Structure 1
């Protein structure tokens, strides 16, 4: 879908509306009224209210984030991936603190991960944002990172990210949601629960939900009971050496683990069908 990129300011004006969407609401809001990266819904009802520090909405041009101040990581990151977002911009590698957080909040820096045995694991991948240098650079904000076991990040997770771009090359557009839950993972230096003197939580599990649509418009209304939805849930463990397909699960299982409503803008009967199904499609 060729969506005109709305500005971050306009998205912020919409955030309270999105946060108010009930998980039980069956009416579908017009797609044009929703921020691009939240087209299928705001899973946790995040709002841009500093008084809600465990579910704070950051709306970037490139992706949307529910940020948890006390864990120092996002609860989830949501983004739209289509050919519009892909180009030839080089990987910037400019990891940095996010100065867009409210005043007084601890700003996680690249140094917060130094020597930890965990990668600075992207939620929205660098390679999903190569249209411009600015787009790619935005993915290196630390509010887009979680402590991720290197073999998890560089093996099954890298394979899944690559497969998503293969689907785009085949004429599709994707709505992708990545998140985490639990506490404690095993990196290259062993098990840890936190980094940076307790300011950054190491998640126990990392998950992703991918909704695959052929290129088109009016995307919410095109989601049907036959739409391919890929849900993956992996342990944050450096022993992982298996392809991502073996970690497929249901959206229902992820929602049960997190308390989120992953596709709240999709009509309830369609949600029920899609979220109960484990994907069995190709993996490369």
Structure 2
């Protein structure tokens, strides 16, 4: 019988444990709820990335552009669990979680501009608790939005999204903007707040509609309804959001984002090329 010294036995044991560790698969960490379908711009919570800075709230996720003073995009999950009876808080305020030294856009930044403080993640999508609703009033969730765009076109689309939830669905929603210059109630402007806040030219939204369930990414198929809308930031635009439907591919081409990156590639290709023609109310 072969005999081993104590040091040799210890070495063999160490090697056995090391080999066992190497063979164990490292679990892939789950993405946060509001980034289930992906991080479109590869945003990171790194102050050295000031034009694509990731902010993860309990209520939504966003990519923030320090130099524009607005989010590049905001992403959130809308399901019955997020809806309740909390009242609209209307407590617009600066976001103190931005890195030290960054300019904090405040509610007064929009005063007299002719543009609304336009929510990305809507107040009415977060009524589970007072804290959830209050979080939607952080200025990092706002863009300068033409009043008629905000109060008519987008308001009816937001309401339709909640109707879809009431009908037994859950939604993954991504809203963003691109370009520079819009027309509010005071006419055309490219910036407000002495140049510190950019007025976007176009405002878009992508909505993935799923029956309520689990394993959401795995349930997305080539027949899943995806609504993509791209509107001008203009006070004279049409009130019907259905008039501005487009494809995800077109929005990706305009922004450079990869919007449904966690969806299977073949399914993603089909969904992103399609323009929705479903009901609008």
TM over 0.5: yes
Q: Which whole-Å deviations, capped at 9, do the CAs of 1:4-32 have from their partners, x for residues lacking one?
A: xxxxxxxxxxxxxxxxxxxxxxxxx96x7
**2:152 equivalent in structure 1:** 155
- Could you say what the CA RMSD is over the residues aligned between the two structures, in angstroms? 0.9
**1:35 equivalent in structure 2:** 32
**1:44 equivalent in structure 2:** 41
Report the alpha carbon displacement of residue 195 of structure 1 after superposing the two structures with TM: 0.6
Report the alpha carbon displacement of residue 34 of structure 1 after superposing the two structures with TM: 1.1
Q: Output the CA distance in 1 between the equivalents of 2:175 and 2:199.
A: 15
Which aligned pairs between 1:107-118 and structure 2 lie closer than 5 A? Answer: 107-118=104-115
Q: Which whole-Å deviations, capped at 9, do the CAs of 1:77-112 have from their partners, x for residues lacking one?
A: 000000000000000000000000000000000000
**2:67 equivalent in structure 1:** 70
Report the alpha carbon displacement of residue 240 of structure 1 after superposing the two structures with TM: 1.7
Structure 2 portions without partners, runs of 5+: 1-26
Is 1:119 matched up with 2:123? no
Is 1:188 matched up with 2:185? yes
**1:214 equivalent in structure 2:** 211
Q: Output the CA distance in 1 between the equivalents of 2:239 and 2:116.
A: 18
Q: Output the CA distance in 2 between the equivalents of 1:48 and 1:176.
A: 21
Which of 133, 136, 143 matches 2:133? 136
Q: Output the CA distance in 2 between the equivalents of 1:241 and 1:91.
A: 27
Moved over 2 A (4+): none
Q: Output the CA distance in 2 between the equivalents of 1:229 and 1:133.
A: 30
**1:9 equivalent in structure 2:** none
Structure 1 portions without partners, runs of 5+: 1-28
Q: Output the CA distance in 1 between the equivalents of 2:51 and 2:30.
A: 26
Give the TM-score, by structure 2 length. Answer: 0.90
Q: Aligned with 2:246: secondary structure? A: coil
Moved more, 236-245 or 99-108: 236-245
Q: Do the aligned residues in 1 keep the contact of 2:200 with 2:233 (CA within 8 Å)?
A: yes
Q: Do the aligned residues in 1 keep the contact of 2:149 with 2:239 (CA within 8 Å)?
A: no
Please say which structure displays the higher CA radius of gyration. Answer: 2
Q: How many residues align?
A: 255
Is 1:251 matched up with 2:248? yes
Report the alpha carbon displacement of residue 242 of structure 1 after superposing the two structures with TM: 2.7
